[in-house]
Amino acid sequence: MLTKKDAWINPKPDFIWNDDFVKHWSEFILPMEGFDELLWMAKTRSWEIPSLCEMPLLSREQEQYLFRQFNALKYAAGKTRYEAAFNRYMARSKDVKDVLHLCNMRLVVNFVKAQKLPSPEDFMLRVSDATMILINCIDKFDYGRGFKFSTYAVWAFRKTFLRLREVLAKESRMMPFSPDMIPDQGYEVDLDEGVVCEEQKALLAELTEGMEPRTLDFIRRSLGTNGPKETLEEIGRSWGITKERVRQVKMKGLKELRQRAEAC
């Protein structure tokens, strides 16, 4: 029996809360079918780019299960009074995180490839940057909100790379950053060009909540999120204003969107 002197203090790991944990956490920590094979692949994979990209993509159901399990294991670790059980739960949560990490490395590589960096050294540096962002995203992703993880991760990549745009341009003499994603992967997130996939539309709807209606109308119509993409002149004609005024309002709205995204 633990004495007061020898008592172990649970460090209470951080996790994303879900109301279902209270009654069903013991069910949620059960291994997913096929997880052992994924874990073996993750642990035996070399860190060369081609090898990392051979990890299988997770289905939406697998992704949801693993993120729920990842957080349920940390919830269980935070509840236990025993250090051995804590270490066991945390070790299992790390295994789940490793699988989520490596199964999403293809997303990292595709994003960095799209930047058309001038040298292999720049490419590997940005892969390293994006990998750290990915790992941080796994800890912060709230699977209960209904978005796919790729939506959240690409948004985080884009925010961070936009902050680095001037540094990248200076160091690598690049053109201004334009995060066009590889189309067959479904990760398009370039708001300025209106390349918005269904998941980004949902995220955009959340970010635009409470915006001034006219500004929101200009953004939606110019990006084509609620129908065919319209020109600034067409939008201006329907509102009885010039296309220059539409452009000004749209740019102000996009700036507000970026500020909201930064605050997420």
The CA distance from 51 to 137, in Å, is: 22
Q: Using 50, 70 and 90 to split pLDDT, how confident is the model at 53?
A: confident
With a cut of 80, say whether residue 7 has pLDDT above it.
no
Contacts of 120 (CB under 8 A, 6+ apart): none
Of residues 207 and 12, more confidence is placed in 12
Torsion of CA 217, 221, 222, 228, to 10 degrees: 180
Partners of 190 in beta bridges:
195
Work out the burial of residue 226: count CB atoms within 10 Å of its CB; fewer than 13 is exposed, 13-18 middle, 19 or more buried.
exposed
Instruction: Encode pLDDT of 186-199 as tens digits.
Output: 333 333 334 334 44
Residue for token digits 């692949």?
Answer: 41
Distance between CA atoms of residues 208 and 219, nearest Å: 10
Position with higher pLDDT, 264 vs 224: 224
- CATH number of the domain at 190-264, please? 1.10.10.10
Average pLDDT over residues 50-67: 89
Distance CA 199, CA 213 (A): 22
